[in-house]
Amino acid sequence: MKLHETTFLTTTIGASPSDTEKVTRAALIHQASRQPEAEITTDLPLHNKKSHRKFNVLLFFFILFFTGALALLIRVDAISDKNLQPGIAEKILRFHVLANSDSKEDQSLKLLVKDTLVNYLTPLVKDAADIQQVESIICGHLSDIKALAESTIRQEGYSYPVTITLEETYFPLKIYGKFSFPPGYYQALRVKIGKAEGQNWWCVMFPPLCFVDETYAIVDENSEDKLLQLLSTEEYEELAQKKVPVKIRFKLLDKLKELLS
């Protein structure tokens, strides 16, 4: 037994057994408190740190390679769209409605005018053989189209003027059902309400691909057959490849700094 333990026990001579037990327990606690605590460290061995850094570097270059490959694919796809878009545009007619402003009331009015005109125009053009026939039908009904739009606006308590034109205009990439139409210039029936400074609405008037509720838009078989008749096989397949606009943003320098830290 060590010296300090002996010292504690000698003080217990003449004491009761319970007192001796208490002193012995105190001595053991005192001894334990003098034991140095084991040092805990979370540092990784040097070779593990190097392996971790090597992995991060490889991961960074993989991300860099993947980003470049994806950008190349998007560029190739965009070139394909650009080459085929003019041929597609020659065979279809778009429909474009512009609201007076972005106020809730004007946007609701725009949709109401759109629904009214879609219901009126779809039966007129659905049996047309080509875009030339559709344009002839539209031109023969321009005054009726304008009157119907103005009547709808007045019924809602507004007095906005309406401008109806058949002209070429630019459209971004738009998806209708399973078909996606590449961005570019198309011939379109345009309906401008009031100042026409609000968000707009667009669809394909011929073949009929306009939907009152686009959330669950499904292209019917007649419209699909019409597209197949009007377009070349390559153009049709291009439309049927549903695309979604992609925005890729990689802060490469920040990512590199993060991986190598």
pLDDT of residue 189: 95
Distance CA 153, CA 75 (A): 44
C-alpha angle with apex 235: 232 to 115, nearest 5 degrees? 105
User: Whose CA is closest to 164, among 139, 182, 187, 186?
Assistant: 139
pLDDT exceeds cutoff 90 at 66? no
Q: Is omega for the bond preceding 183 within 30 degrees of 0, making it cis?
A: no
- 176-218 pLDDT, tens digit each: 777 888 999 999 999 999 999 999 988 888 888 775 445 445 5
Give Cα 145 distance to the centre of its chain: 35
Instruction: Report pLDDT digits (tens) over 226-257.
Output: 888 888 888 888 888 755 444 434 445 555 55
H helices present in the chain, as ranges: 3-10, 17-33, 46-89, 104-125, 131-140, 142-155, 221-230, 233-240, 252-260
DSSP characters over 2-17: -HHHHHHHHTTTTS-H
CA distance 137 to 139: 6
Q: Locate the domains of the chain by residue range.
A: 92-240
Give me Rg for the CA atoms of the chain: 38
Average pLDDT in the chain: 74
Question: How many other CB atoms are found less than 10 A from the CB of residue 166?
Answer: 15
HSE of 49 in the Cβ direction (CA atoms, 13 Å)?
6
Decide which of 56 and 111 is more confident. Answer: 111
